[in-house]
A and B are shown apart, each in its own frame.
Chain A
């Protein structure tokens, strides 16, 4: 069977990429064409129109697509989670100087951010923060980060979406004061000298579900081989002994096209947070493998709560039921069992 699977070039597409390039899919008798997409919107639409047979997808975007609140309503199934965590909040160097938290402690950093954001809003010059898509854990992590600093994000800050490849440019030009994005983009902004990593996603929301494997619902039952291949690839990605090879593969020009060292650091959870080379350790910075794979209904509920808090949906029992139906732990158990 030949399948076209879409992905956005990010470290957390690792399990999908390894499933194909590491031969796990071939062992299941699958021929897979990986299709690199430059926006989540296009990936979602192509999946909706049947131009893709599956995709690496922002978990909340898969939910929004299934509910018909982002793009056309699409019958999808999520048989497997690809990773937990991987995001970070990065601020511009001027903003970090103004915050001057004098600590890496999340509460202290968040309060310092809240103070500056309130000051700026009071002066009629609100801060602008970037996220990757309205329906993303990034959006919700920014809101949780702000809330931790006693700030109502929506009230005090201007939110924009910024395509990750434009982040450095936007920070440098002052179009944004900070952003939340996945690996390797925070590291790149630090490396380029424009950004300071203020907080890790895994601190703001521990074990935050991030990307999922999304399939058309009517093809999901026949996806046993694919689920098995991606699962085995995910376990391979989780093994630190493979991280050098994985970093080289992901960094190559036809995937992420960046320096392997940046990927390597994200995988190891040893993150350089500023231009002086200050390192912080976070073993859960991005997690793959058996512990993250089984899709859990509680994850859907958590996202629905966040969506409602962000004013994107109004929760009703019927909507909750439709959203929950997207996650298919039964398919995972059937394939991996």
Chain B
């Protein structure tokens, strides 16, 4: 896809996600990709930029601003319309699931919009996956620290070696069908209260 004539505006409360989308669209051959800050004067900024397509995150409150610009007001010179291809509900579903909504200038060919949306959906999903992995990694790190603390508490309280302390927690977790981190948390909480 090479679209040297198109200007795409990107509006997203997350600067990191906006940057990832910008890069993706540029790599796909969109000549001009502009990230617009999600601020109170967005309406004027969109009007000044005059983009062919606006890609906006669905959680942005500014979506309603674009609705006003969508040809329902006599003051808008170049109205945008929400991109809804009625024949393609799965496409819209995929976009909303990924967190995307798109507005296009009236008259732009649907196929050109589709390819832009495809890139956006791929990028947004990749971003969400990365974020999830990061969160999980953080959670695992926190769990590991918790387990270390609980192990230390058991070793001191019961005078047992490290390995045995860990085995004890694991057996408890398996018997109660809970995660070992949950058992560790209970031990740490109890030690805090009793200590």
Contact = CB atoms under 8 A, between A and B. Distances in A.
Contacts of A134: 67-68, 70, 72-73
B61 A133 contact: no
A181 to B, nearest CB: 12
Interface stretch (A20-28, A43-51, A96-104, A240-248): A43-51
Given A41-B63, A163-B64, A163-B65, A49 B89 contact: yes
A39 B63 contact: yes
Contacts of A51: 96
A80 B66 CA distance: 29
A160 B65 contact: yes
Interface stretch (A87-95, A165-173, A252-260, A271-279): A165-173
Given A72-B84, A166-B61, A41 B74 contact: no
Interface string B48-92: 000000000011111111111010111100000010101001001
Interface in A144-178: 154, 158-166, 169-170, 173, 175
Contacts of B66: 41
Contacts of A159: 68, 73, 75
B86 to A, nearest CB: 6
B93 interface: yes
A50 to B, nearest CB: 8
Nearest to A170: B40
A51 to B, nearest CB: 7
- Give the one of A71, A160, A163 with max B CB within 10 A: A160
A175 B43 CA distance: 10
B65 A72 contact: no
A169 B62 CA distance: 14
A45 B96 contact: yes
B44 interface: yes
Contacts of B62: 39, 163
Chain A: interface size category: 20 to 34
Contacts of A45: 58, 92, 96, 101
Contact of B44 (A73, A163, A175, A311): A175
B41 interface: yes
Contact of B40 (A40, A49, A70, A166): A166
A161 B96 contact: no
B59 A38 contact: yes
A311 B73 CA distance: 8
Given A45-B96, A46-B96, A134-B68, A175 B60 contact: no
- Give the one of B58, B59, B72, B86 with max A CB within 10 A: B72
A169 B59 contact: no
Interface in B14-63: 39-41, 43-44, 58-63
Contacts of A312: 72
A132 B68 CA distance: 9
11 contacts: A39-B62, A41-B63, A41-B64, A41-B101, A45-B58, A72-B89, A132-B64, A134-B72, A159-B73, A161-B65, A169-B40
Interface of A: 38-42, 45-46, 49, 51, 70-73, 131-134, 154, 158-166, 169-170, 173, 175, 311-312
Given A38-B59, A170-B41, 13 more contacts: A39-B63, A40-B67, A45-B58, A49-B92, A49-B93, A134-B67, A160-B43, A161-B65, A161-B67, A163-B64, A166-B40, A166-B61, A175-B44
